Structure 1
Amino acid sequence: MSKARHELAWGIGRHGPGNDTFFMVRDPDGNLAEISCDLEKCPENREAGRWCHEPRTLNLWGSAIMRS
């Protein structure tokens, strides 16, 4: 993507749920496409957590795009 000179539309950031890093680019129609990696692996017996839909959970490293 760098060689093709695709610009980042958002990121790089880190999601709260999943603890994954991500960035966003726009597809040819202008839609945001999210690329993420390093999704957290949890043991089967881990208690379920609760994450509120707020900027802090959507991007632990800064502001977030609040999508519905």
Structure 2
Amino acid sequence: MGLDDLVNKAKDALGGNDKDGLIEKAKEQLTDERIDQVADAIKKVTPDNIDEKVDQLAEQAKKLND
């Protein structure tokens, strides 16, 4: 699979033509635990005053993933 194939799959997924179930696959892998891990990693490298915003975004991502 070449770069063009990957780009086309991404375009299809974003355009609603999710032929290969990419959105469902992403939702399966994006668990609440993974979202928390990513949020923690972001908070480690950003200033402390950003932590609250990161937490808010993580909560929104969890809700959207349900």
- Normalised by the size of structure 2, how large is the TM-score? 0.24
Q: Which has the higher helix share?
A: 2
Q: Which has the higher strand share?
A: 1
- Normalised by the size of structure 1, how large is the TM-score? 0.24
Q: Which has the larger radius of gyration?
A: 2
